[in-house]
């Protein structure tokens, strides 16, 4: 269930202390019972999720969604984050999104988010119109399988930084308030289906490369339930410090992508360099600590594009990834 957010909901608030009247009490009597220590605050638990890019085949291709469900469930995950293309492939093969939703449920897997690729933020009005129509179809499919959110990266507006995601090498979107209006239009499309888009940070892009830019777009849109998708790798790649997470409340994060990276300069590191949490030099433990401090109890999704892992047994990769997620999160 989503709640409308004001801009203030983005800033982790401070608790308001009310004054209490002081009442004189009799002096305490000596006791022989041992003093008790104050109870430790309950640990904040995260919901661990498998992004399906983590377990592609040796050629980097997506596996059939039925196989991905089996991999995630057997590894011990309780949530899965598929790509919309994988869902579409299942439907083209004769299945339905509703039937796929039952498969997820039977395996004990939530679908907190589906990765979408509609051109919602591009400058060209005609491409943007087509992008919203694509998003409308995809969000209806996501809703039918039981999903409630869809990632909204700046596809088509990377400023020529990605041949795959921006084949026309279009200019980046400079006016972030215009981007906020476009996000609101996307959110309006999603609301009809009961699906909320998540503004995704893409560190390699020249549009929405920083956490603050994504937050501005979501906050200024006025979209009910507006939220962002930070990612350990993309925060580093785009130049955002994890200290920026301190300014967010838990409600501001639609889902968090967890991973790690080796000691490679920002301008040289790529998606393929991502490694298991804890196997690199990224601030993984510190990130989990900051999520815990804001009482974030949502989904943390393992998203990797490591070609060495793709050549390994996907069941082992998924199980290893979950174990390392838990270790870094202190779960």
The CATH number covering residue 207 comes to: 3.20.20.150
The residue whose two tokens read 């047994």 is 313
Task: Collect all residues with Cβ–Cβ distance below 8 Å to 31 and sequence separation of at least 6.
Answer: none
**Domain boundaries, position 228:** 44-329
Render 53-97 in DSSP notation, one character per residue.
GGG--TTSPPPPHHHHHHHHHHHT-SBEE-BHHHHHHHHHTT--H
Helices (H), 117-246: 125-144, 176-193, 211-221, 232-238
User: Are 208 and 179 a contacting pair, CB within 8 Å?
Assistant: yes
pLDDT at 169: 62
What is the pTM assigned to this prediction?
A: 0.85
- In a domain? residue 178: yes
- In a domain? residue 20: no
pLDDT at 26: 45
User: Are 264 and 236 a contacting pair, CB within 8 Å?
Assistant: no
Joined tokens for residue 55: 């377990």
- In a domain? residue 218: yes
Beta bridge partners of 260: 275
- In a domain? residue 72: yes
Residues 282 and 266: their CA atoms lie apart, in Å, by 12
Residue 153 gets which letter from DSSP?
-
Residues 148 and 190: their CA atoms lie apart, in Å, by 9
Torsion sign over Cα 96, 141, 153, 292: negative
User: Are 57 and 89 a contacting pair, CB within 8 Å?
Assistant: no
Joined tokens for residue 298: 């949502």
pLDDT at 167: 62
- In a domain? residue 115: yes
Domain count, the chain: 1
**Residue stretches of the chain with pLDDT short of 70:** 1-44, 160-169
- In a domain? residue 11: no
Query: Which one, of 153, 161, 91, lies nearest residue 303 by Cα?
Result: 153
User: Are 202 and 173 a contacting pair, CB within 8 Å?
Assistant: no
Residues 225 and 25: their CA atoms lie apart, in Å, by 48
Could you read off the pLDDT of 21-70 as tens digits, one per residue? 333 344 444 444 444 454 444 465 899 999 999 999 999 999 999 999 99
Could you read off the pLDDT of 163-202 as tens digits, one per residue? 666 666 678 899 999 999 999 999 999 999 999 999 999 9
- In a domain? residue 21: no
pLDDT at 159: 83
From residue 45, alpha-carbon distances to 246, 297, 316 in Å are 18, 6, 24
User: Are 141 and 87 a contacting pair, CB within 8 Å?
Assistant: yes
- In a domain? residue 307: yes
């Amino acid at each position: 269930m989503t709640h409308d957010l004001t801009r203030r909901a983005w800033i982790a608030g401070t608790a308001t202390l009310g004054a209490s009247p002081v009442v004189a009490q009799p002096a305490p009597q000596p006791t022989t019972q041992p003093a008790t220590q104050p109870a430790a605050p309950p640990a904040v638990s995260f919901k661990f999720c498998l992004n399906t890019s983590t377990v592609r085949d040796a050629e980097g291709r997506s596996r059939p969604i039925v196989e991905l469900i089996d991999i995630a469930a057997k590894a011990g995950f309780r949530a899965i984050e598929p790509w919309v293309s994988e869902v579409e492939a299942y439907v083209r093969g004769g299945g339905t999104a509703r039937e796929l939703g039952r498969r997820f449920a039977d395996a004990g897997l939530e679908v907190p988010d589906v990765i979408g690729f509609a051109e919602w933020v591009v400058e060209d009005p005609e491409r943007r119109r087509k992008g919203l129509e694509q998003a409308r179809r995809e969000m209806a499919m996501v809703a039918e399988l039981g999903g409630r959110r869809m990632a909204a990266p700046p596809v088509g507006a990377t400023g020529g930084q990605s041949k795959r995601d921006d084949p026309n090498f279009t200019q980046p979107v400079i006016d972030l308030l215009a981007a906020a209006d476009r996000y609101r239009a996307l959110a309006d499309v999603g609301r009809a289906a009961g699906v909320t888009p998540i503004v995704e940070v893409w560190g390699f892009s020249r549009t929405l490369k920083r956490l603050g830019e994504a937050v501005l777009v979501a906050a200024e849109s006025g979209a009910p339930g507006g939220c962002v998708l930070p990612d350990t790798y993309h925060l580093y790649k785009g130049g955002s410090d994890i200290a920026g997470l301190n300014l967010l409340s838990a409600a501001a994060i639609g889902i968090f992508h967890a991973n790690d990276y080796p000691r490679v300069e920002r301008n040289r590191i790529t998606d393929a360099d991502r490694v298991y949490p804890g196997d690199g030099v990224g601030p993984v433990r510190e990130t989990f600590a900051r999520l815990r401090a804001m009482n974030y109890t949502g989904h943390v999704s393992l998203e990797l594009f490591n070609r060495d892992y793709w050549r390994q047994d996907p069941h082992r990769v998924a199980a290893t990834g979950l174990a390392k997620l838990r270790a870094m999160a202190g779960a």
